[in-house]
Structure 1
Amino acid sequence: MTLYQKLKASGNPQAVAQITISLLESHSVKETAKILGVTPRWVYKLRERFRLSNGDISACIKKRGPKFRMPNRTPEHIENLVVTLAKETNLGSKRLALFIKNTFNIQLSPFTIRNIRRRYGIHCRKHKTLTGSRRFATDFSAFEPLQLWQIDAKHIADQSALPPEAYASIFKNKLPPFQFTAIDIKTRLRFIAYADSLDFKNGLTFMLLVAAWLRAFGVKHQLFFQTDNGAEFGGSAGSRKRKLIQKLIFDHWNVSLLNIPERNKETNCFVERSHRTDDEEFYALNLKKVTSRTSFLKMAQNWILYFNYRRPHFGKNMNGMTPVEALKFYRCFYHPAIGSMPVVVLDQLSNYTSLLFDISSLPWDNLPRNKKLLNETMAHYRHSIFSTSL
Structure 2
Amino acid sequence: MCRIPDEPMSYKFQIKENELLTKLKIIRLTQIGGHSHKKVASIFGCHRNTVASLVRQFVGLPLANQLTLLSGNNLSLNTVNNLLSPLLAKSSAPLGHPKQASDEEAYSVFWLFHERGWRVGYRSMWQKIKRSFSDYASIDSWLYSLTKLTSRQIRTIYQNFELRTIKVRTKNGQRAHLYDYAALGAFERMHLDTKTLADQHSLPSDVYLNLLENKEIPKYQWTMIDAKTRVRFVAYSYNLNAEFGLKFLLFVLCYIRFTWNNWETRIAIGFDNGIEFCSGSEEKLENWNRIMQSLNASGYQYNPHFDIRKNLIERSHRVDDSHFLVPRGLLLTNKQSFLEETTGFFVYYNFDHGSSGVGMDDKTPYEVLSSTAIRNPERLMQFPVMILEDSIDTIRQTVDSFLFQAELKNKEQKLDEPLNQKQIIKTSTKYRFFEDNAQKVLTQY
The equivalent position to 2:121 in structure 1, one of 72, 79, 92, is 92
8 A contact 1:300–1:343 mirrored in 2: yes
1:148 maps onto 2:177 in alignment:
no
What is the rounded CA distance, in whole Å, between the counterparts of 2:395 and 2:360 in structure 1? Answer: 36
Point out where structure 2 has 5 or more consecutive residues left out of the alignment. 1-76, 129-146, 408-445
* Structure 1 residue identity aligned to 2:204: P
Q: CA RMSD in A?
A: 4.2
Aligned to 1:245: 288
8 A contact 1:135–1:269 mirrored in 2: no
The equivalent position to 1:269 in structure 2, one of 311, 331, 336, is 311
Q: CA deviation at 1:147?
A: 2.0
The equivalent position to 1:165 in structure 2, one of 196, 206, 220, is 206
Aligned to 2:57: none
Aligned to 2:331: 289
- The 5 A counterparts of 1:127-276 are 137-141=178-182, 143-174=184-215, 175-220=217-262, 221-236=265-280, 238-239=282-283, 241-247=284-290, 249-276=291-318
Deviates more, 1:202-211 or 1:76-85: 76-85
Deviates more, 1:354-363 or 1:263-272: 354-363
Q: State the identity %.
A: 23
Larger-Rg structure: 2
What is the TM-score with the length of structure 2 in the denominator? 0.57
8 A contact 1:176–1:196 mirrored in 2: yes
1:344 maps onto 2:386 in alignment:
yes
What is the TM-score with the length of structure 1 in the denominator? 0.64
1:75 maps onto 2:97 in alignment:
yes
Q: CA deviation at 1:184?
A: 0.7
Point out where structure 1 has 5 or more consecutive residues left out of the alignment. 1-37, 50-61, 364-390
SS at match of 1:217: helix
The equivalent position to 2:322 in structure 1, one of 280, 286, 303, is 280
Q: CA deviation at 1:267?
A: 1.6
SS at match of 2:309: helix
SS at match of 2:357: coil
- The 5 A counterparts of 1:110-121 are 114-121=155-162
Q: CA deviation at 1:261?
A: 1.6
What is the rounded CA distance, in whole Å, between the counterparts of 1:299 and 1:40 in structure 2? Answer: 68
Any idea what the Cα deviations from partners look like across 1:330-388, whole Å, max 9, x if unmatched? 3433341322211111122223444342769998xxxxxxxxxxxxxxxxxxxxxxxxx
Q: How many residues align?
A: 301
